[in-house]
Amino acid sequence: MSDSRASEVSVCLAAIRAGDPAAVDRLLPHVYADLRELARRVHRGAANATLQPTALVHEAYLRLVGNDGAFNDRVHFMSVAAIAMRQILVDYARNRRAQKRGGDRELVALQDSDAAVDGADVDIVALDDALSRLERLDERQARIVTLRYFGGLTVEETAERVGVSPRTVKADWQMARRWLRRALDGE
pLDDT tens, residue order, the chain (187 aa): 567 777 888 898 888 888 888 888 888 888 888 888 888 776 664 544 557 888 888 888 888 877 665 788 888 888 888 888 888 888 888 887 776 654 555 555 444 445 544 444 667 888 888 999 999 999 999 999 988 887 778 899 899 889 999 999 999 999 999 999 999 887 5
- Picking from 85, 57, 81, the residue whose alpha carbon sits closest to that of residue 71 is 81
In this prediction, residue 134 carries a pLDDT of 95
- Structural domain including 123 reads 3-184
Provide the number of structural domains found in the chain: 1
Whether 31 contacts 1, CB under 8 Å? no
From CA 86, how far away is CA 14, in angstroms rounded?
Answer: 25
Taking CA atoms, 50 is separated from 6, 41, 121, 180, in Å, by: 32, 16, 17, 26
- Are 119 and 85 contacting, i.e. CB atoms less than 8 angstroms apart? no
Rounded Cα distance, 187 and 184, in Å? 8
Amino acid at 50: T
